[in-house]
Chains A and B, each alone.
Chain A
Amino acid sequence: MTGTVLQLEHVEVGFATADGTVSAVSDVSLAVAEGEIFGLVGESGCGKTTLAMATMGLLPASATVRGAVRFEGNDLVGLEPEELRRLRGDRISMVFQDPMTSLDPAFPIGDQVAETITAHRDVDTKTARARALALLAEVGIPEPERRYGDAPHRLSGGMRQRVVIATALANEPALLLADEPTTALDVTIQAQVLDLLRGLRRRLRTTIVLITHDLGVIAQICDRVGVMYAGQLVEVAAVAEIFRAPRHPYTQALLAALPDQQQEPGSLRVIPGRVPNLVTPPPGCRFATRCPSVMDRCTVVPPLAHETPEHLIACWLSEATKRAADPAGAAAAGGAA
């Protein structure tokens, strides 16, 4: 892995609502390296999809984005809509949970792939068609020549998602954002699509940010993973490390809540309480209201800091977080920050 493809710096996203501003993403910084599959995991409302939409410039007008989203040398925050449109489907593309979000129901699938190419590249229709056929074959559509003229409704859900992936890859993007790409699929079809994504990364070195609530999917295909809770990024680590030695109390609680045949029915670990209201989030760490290790200092936001070169954590239990908050070296001081 060489360069950094995507770098988020202190990204904040707020949504204006009748009840006040919802703080959907709070001070998120992270870097995704070229050729890696980076997983972003968390439960409903944790901000993982909002973060992806902010990256793509696809948030509604009610949203305010602060901070920087650096991609290939540009800050995408504040970029003109026309420039963003040029990037989308070209250098960055996105795959959503429901393939019909991206596909036109009344239009042959092959033409939809070809159109993505002609929209961004100066090629004739014959070239675009040939490239679309190659892409359909690449993503595992059987008999692409015969399927080229089919409307999406003729295809199964798994095949539709393959077409969306073909469209997303049409212009060889530097970055693919996949938001719950297999959540609507059956488990055997999910396995096929995960295999496809893995193969694409290997052959094309596409950088992939995979957003999912499914820790199993994360474990199967990601290199590194970021865990989000209530708009905050609480932990980042290599995937093996997250599952073997989770450090943040939320990550630990989330993994412990997974169903397990070793445990008696009725004895699964639960996370007490509820996700806080993000119009008036608690000050400091947003997991503090449910955390078994909560302490006074948790009313101050813990900075995300390097526990090891590969493992970042935002929790006052971590020496790294304490050092980052107080670089003068008074880590032992504790108490007030």
Chain B
Amino acid sequence: MSGQVQAVDRVAPVPAAPPILEVTGLVKHFSTDRGLLGSGATLHAVDGVDLRIHPGEVLAVVGESGSGKSTLARCILRLIDPTAGRIVFDGRDVTELRGRQLAAFRQQVQPVFQDPFSSIDPRWRVGKSVAEALDAFQIGTKHERRERVLDLLDRVGLDPSLAGRRPHELSGGQRQRVGIAAALAPSPKLIVADEPVSALDVSVQAQVLNLLADLQRDLGLAIVFVAHDLAVVEHMSHRTAVMYLGRIVETGPTETVFRDPRHPYTKALLEAIPHPDPERQLTGGGLQGEIPSPIAPPSGCRFRTRCPVAIDRCATDDPAMTAFGDGHAAACHVAAATLPTD
């Protein structure tokens, strides 16, 4: 499916700018250990993903457990090597970078994780964690680095006096702010945020979402926002890519995807949201069954085993992305048939 129909991205912030990140035909397979899962099995975590993100854009990647969204994030961060495909960052192929060049790339693309302890050392004082990238790359003089750390803490809404504290003395929301400050330190162009607010309470979540939105706007950051919470995604992102079993099944402007979903999986996902509104009850006719094993994904369309509208063709033909205009595209035979043929 990869690269056949390339949806045109028309994005509000800077439509004409070239993408900051372009991923083409990305594949990541893991071989499983012998034992329960059988020997030599291959887990198709990411299986042919194309995406692009422009400067100043927030691209949400949504999907359930096993959709491959976190594996995709880790490939983009170059924390793991893709099995196949290409990652082009700022016009440069970074798929094969090693050593110093990889380190330089990593200044430009910074992670924010669900658990801030994934990126900050629990034993280090806050200031040292925030300064880590600056120290590692010897950015500025020692004094400048110190000033920058205090500025960054202030920027993420923390009292600079917290620089001397250790993470366990902070609340969950404060720790996530430290994680964000550390990510901002080397002035990246792209942030890859993997479930950055999932572990936070609603009131703290609102603070961190506001912070990310402000930073994104003020610094012109591009953000890949990986999340399972669709209400958060709808609020935060310009564009949304929906993943299922290693593939992107639908992508487009967030408002369009939420208002007029074309893929049956996207529809099911949106219908399953428990809205905080008793008058919008779940219908109960939701999706049956569970996501199949990524070790033996179904033939044809991967969603067909749970799809309420599957037709014979879905078992044999892998659906390509069909464009619905305005950068909206979905990979579904049934949805494609709704378009007038020419």
In Å, the complex CA distance between A158 and B290 comes to: 8
Interface segment, one of A6-14, A93-101, A188-196 = A188-196
With contact pairs A43-B202, A192-B286, A259-B236 given, residues A266 and B274 touching in the complex (Cβ less than 8 Å): no
Would you give the shortest CB distance from B172 to chain A, in whole angstroms? 8
From 213 to 242 in chain B, residues with beta carbon under 8 angstroms from any chain A beta carbon are 213-214, 216-217, 228-232, 234-236
List, in ascending order, chain A residues with CB within 8 A of B276's CB.
215-216, 218-219, 243, 255, 258
Asked if A215 and B202 sit within 8 Å, CB to CB, the answer is yes
Q: Does B203 contact A (CB under 8 A)?
A: yes
Count B interface residues, CB 8 Å. Answer: 48
From 241 to 284 in chain A, residues with beta carbon under 8 angstroms from any chain B beta carbon are 243, 253-255, 257-261, 263-271, 274
* Residue of chain A at shortest CB distance from B211: A266
Asked if A188 and B269 sit within 8 Å, CB to CB, the answer is yes
Q: Does A239 contact B (CB under 8 A)?
A: yes
Asked if B272 and A191 sit within 8 Å, CB to CB, the answer is yes
Q: Does B1 contact A (CB under 8 A)?
A: no
In Å, the complex CA distance between A229 and B58 comes to: 34
Give the residue of A157, A158, A269 whose beta carbon is less than 8 angstroms from that of B206. Answer: A269
In Å, the complex CA distance between A277 and B209 comes to: 25
List, in ascending order, chain A residues with CB within 8 A of B279's CB.
240
Q: Does B310 contact A (CB under 8 A)?
A: no
Give the residue of B202, B273, B278 whose beta carbon is less than 8 angstroms from that of A254. Answer: B202
Asked if B171 and A274 sit within 8 Å, CB to CB, the answer is yes
Count A interface residues, CB 8 Å. Answer: 45
Asked if B274 and A214 sit within 8 Å, CB to CB, the answer is yes
Q: Does B99 contact A (CB under 8 A)?
A: no
Asked if B203 and A261 sit within 8 Å, CB to CB, the answer is no
Q: Does A106 contact B (CB under 8 A)?
A: no
In Å, the complex CA distance between A253 and B203 comes to: 8
From 171 to 191 in chain A, residues with beta carbon under 8 angstroms from any chain B beta carbon are 186-191
Give the residue of B204, B216, B217, B230 whose beta carbon is less than 8 angstroms from that of A187. Answer: B230
Q: Mask for A203-225, Cβ within 8 A of B = 1, else 0?
A: 00000000001111111100000
List, in ascending order, chain A residues with CB within 8 A of B210's CB.
265-268, 270
| Max chain B C-beta neighbours (<10 A), residue from A158, A257, A264 | A257
From 249 to 290 in chain B, residues with beta carbon under 8 angstroms from any chain A beta carbon are 255, 258, 268-269, 271-282, 284, 286-288, 290
Asked if B290 and A213 sit within 8 Å, CB to CB, the answer is no
Asked if B217 and A266 sit within 8 Å, CB to CB, the answer is yes
Q: Does A156 contact B (CB under 8 A)?
A: yes
List, in ascending order, chain B residues with CB within 8 A of A271's CB.
203, 206
Would you give the shortest CB distance from B282 to chain A, in whole angstroms? 6
Could you give 5 example pairs across A and B, Cβ below 8 Å? A157-B65, A187-B272, A220-B275, A254-B203, A258-B206
